[in-house]
Amino acid sequence: MSNQVDVLNFEYSTKGIRDIGIVEPVLSYLELNYRLKIKRACISDNFCKIIQQYSPKIIVVAHSIGTINHHEMVKYASLKGIKVITFIAEGDMVDIKENVEILFWGNNNDKIFYEFANLQWSQKNIDLILKHIPDANKYQLICCGGTGFDRYQFLPLKSKTAFYAQYPQFKNYKKIIGLAGFPFYFFLSDLYKKDGQWNNMHLDHDACDTMAAQKEPLRQLYKEIIKNNPDTLFILKYHPSDIMKELSEFYELDQFENTLSIYKEENIDDVINISDLWIGFESTTCLEAWLLNKTTFIANPDKVNFVRSIISSGSPHYGNVQELNSAIHSFFEIGQSNDFNKLKTEREFAVSQVIGYGDGLNHKRAGDFIISVLDTQMIKMAPNDDFVSAMEKKYRSMEIRKSLRHILYKTPFFWLSKVKNEFHKDQIKEQEFTEVKREAFAELYRSALSKFYQSIN
């Protein structure tokens, strides 16, 4: 029996829902409505062998820029004559050249458009790409909407009752405020700043300096709000990419009894859903909260200006403890925020500019595009046998070394520091993506979408 599939999907992690949430509604739609044969795989595995094994008509991936593996896979598949459809994970571009370049090219230092087509969240993004990326008018850029946001229309989400059952220590807190984390470590560590100069950042450098300076004022603002509202539970939802908690605006705030720190233990959808009010510094999650009919505030110490996403225009901004505390008390007293209600038009415009459509059918638009090109011929790229051979050798070698480490694990050789360290890295990667969790995501989406389609027909 042939292993050939119609669509092969590669993703990095099953710990969070961001990337999977972008592609899975599309994949499930293709299975449910077109009966396509789909294989879901891990990008960290030997993708060369997997591609050869399944001979897909099309490869679909949430983005091509997240890791070097993503770029190498897209380039390899394209050079092998396989169509690759890429989406975008960090999809809200701003009109800054560095921002557009990083979000479009990422690890693709070749700056060659290898994919067959790139599906963007909005026409605004496409216009910015055409403005800042040379020769982008030659690329197949498709506006299908933010597919990852569709899930708010159909996925079952955690209720407060389920939350209290899971975290009984917080059952007496009837008011819950979610705080959306911002990746301050980008701006405060030496990862992107060398000798005082910003490197590989996707924002204006003055904006980077401005945001870096806001971390401590924001931390103090949150600290006072938490202290002033002891009857309210504050969920400290760290940014999913945060790797340096000591540089976070939430640092040491978990010392207060009315706080709960969440990193990747819960999906962002569930955290927003159980929150009565959602507050952030600068976050796409505010738009996600709107899709769940949640009120959102922006905590902006001293109302400092910098280049922001248009999403920030849909929430009232509060610049000090008194303002924010007053707004919180008013919200819980009357069950709504007049400041927030006044910005309805701004929110509707932001939704159209950022995710195109908020009707939950962006995945259908993307899926229908994939069907339209499934059997079309791809224009062959100039052959690069050296790269193809190098990738096959690289990932075959990685796979063999990993197998040897698993054998050495049961021998005295395991205690060689290099073997031991690499083995532990293997373990971490294996925990990052599991086939059981990946299939569980797929089944969850198939079930939810089946009910959703019935409800709208």
State the DSSP H helix or E strand holding residue 451, giving kind and residue range, or none if neither: helix 435-456
**Shared fold status for 7-150+360-456 and 155-354:** yes
Q: What pLDDT score was predicted for residue 1?
A: 45
Question: Domain map of the chain by residue range?
Answer: 7-150+360-456, 155-354
Q: Residue 53's closest CA among 115, 5, 114, 116?
A: 5
Whole-angstrom Cα distance, residue 281 to residue 211?
10
DSSP symbols for 7-33: EEEEES-SSSSHHHHHHHHHHHHHHHH
The residues, ordered by sequence, that sit 6+ positions from 11 with a Cβ below 8 Å of its Cβ are 19, 20, 23, 40, 41, 42, 43, 61, 62, 433, 438
Q: Does domain 7-150+360-456 have CATH number 3.30.70?
A: no
The residues, ordered by sequence, that sit 6+ positions from 374 with a Cβ below 8 Å of its Cβ are 6, 36, 57, 58
In 342-434, where does DSSP find H-type helix? 344-354, 362-373, 385-408, 417-432
Q: What pLDDT score was predicted for residue 382?
A: 84
Q: What pLDDT score was predicted for residue 443?
A: 97
The amino acid that residue 275 corresponds to is S
What architecture does CATH give domain 155-354? 3-Layer(aba) Sandwich (3.40)
Q: What pLDDT score was predicted for residue 235?
A: 97
Q: What pLDDT score was predicted for residue 189?
A: 67
Whole-angstrom Cα distance, residue 315 to residue 317?
6
Sign of CA dihedral 414, 415, 416, 420: positive
Rounded-to-5 percentages of helix, strand, coil across the chain? 50, 10, 35
Whole-angstrom Cα distance, residue 145 to residue 351?
10
pTM exceeds 0.85, yes or no: no
The amino acid that residue 319 corresponds to is G
State the DSSP H helix or E strand holding residue 273, giving kind and residue range, or none if neither: helix 268-274
In 59-214, where does DSSP find H-type helix? 68-79, 97-105, 123-132, 160-166, 185-188, 205-213
State the DSSP H helix or E strand holding residue 60, giving kind and residue range, or none if neither: strand 58-61
The residues, ordered by sequence, that sit 6+ positions from 334 with a Cβ below 8 Å of its Cβ are none
Do the strands 232-237 and 259-262 form a parallel or antiparallel pair, or are they unpaired? parallel
CA distances from 214 to 218, 227, 266, 301 (A): 6, 20, 27, 7
Q: Mind listing the pLDDT tens digit of every residue in the chain (457 residues)?
A: 468 999 999 999 998 788 999 999 999 999 999 999 999 999 999 999 999 999 999 999 999 887 899 999 999 999 999 999 999 987 788 888 888 988 899 889 999 999 999 999 999 999 999 999 999 999 999 999 999 999 999 999 999 999 999 999 999 999 999 999 988 776 766 666 666 665 555 566 677 778 788 889 999 999 999 999 999 999 999 887 766 777 888 999 999 999 999 987 888 999 999 999 999 998 889 999 999 999 999 999 988 787 788 999 999 999 999 999 999 999 999 999 999 999 999 999 999 999 998 889 999 999 999 999 999 888 888 889 999 999 999 999 988 888 877 776 666 655 667 667 777 777 777 788 999 999 999 999 999 999 999 998 7
Q: What pLDDT score was predicted for residue 114?
A: 95
Whole-angstrom Cα distance, residue 45 to residue 78?
18
Bridge partners (DSSP) of residue 175 are 232
Bridge partners (DSSP) of residue 237 are 180, 262
Whole-angstrom Cα distance, residue 11 to residue 93?
22
The residues, ordered by sequence, that sit 6+ positions from 149 with a Cβ below 8 Å of its Cβ are 287, 288, 291, 355, 358, 362
